[in-house]
Amino acid sequence: MSEFYGGLSDEEQPRNETPLPPVDEQFKNILTDCKRSIYTAIVFANEEESTEAQDTGLLNVYLRSLSALYALLNSLPSRQMDQIAWDKQPWSEIPEKARDKAQTALLWYNNYLTKNNRQVDKIPYTDYISNILHRHPYSQVPNPDQD
């Protein structure tokens, strides 16, 4: 028996067997495209043969940019789009060449959250955002767990 659940055993616990709604394919594609743009803007910014292009620190810059995008996405909708300081952190961590794609992802997700304000509606999206930006930062496909 579990004291946490009022003495009910695991079998006696109420369960919600309804599956969570899937993440919209359009959002998956938008976020993957944004991630690819960030990678391209950072890793392929320099000439292939140059010393700068061979710097492994570029990958750290890329990961910081993904973390910035993650922070911005997770600050929505409590932070409205018009309250984002586009010239300050975490926004400034995202390369200029990828900002239009990042803004598209932020706008799409903000619109989704505005229309679906139940916490349960956020779960698949917060999980997906975490997976695509943190768990699989180098994968360039929308569904890295299914490869």
Distance CA 22, CA 16 (A): 16
| DSSP-based three-state secondary structure for 123 | helix
Per residue in 2-19, pLDDT tens?
Answer: 455 566 677 777 777 777
pLDDT, one tens digit per residue, over 20-64 is 788 999 999 999 999 999 999 999 988 888 888 788 899 999 999
Instruction: Tell me which residue of 89, 102, 86 sits closest to 39, measured CA to CA.
Output: 102
Whether pLDDT at 84 is above 80: no
> To the nearest whole number, what is the mean pLDDT of the chain?
84
- The Cα 4–Cα 75 span in angstroms is 31
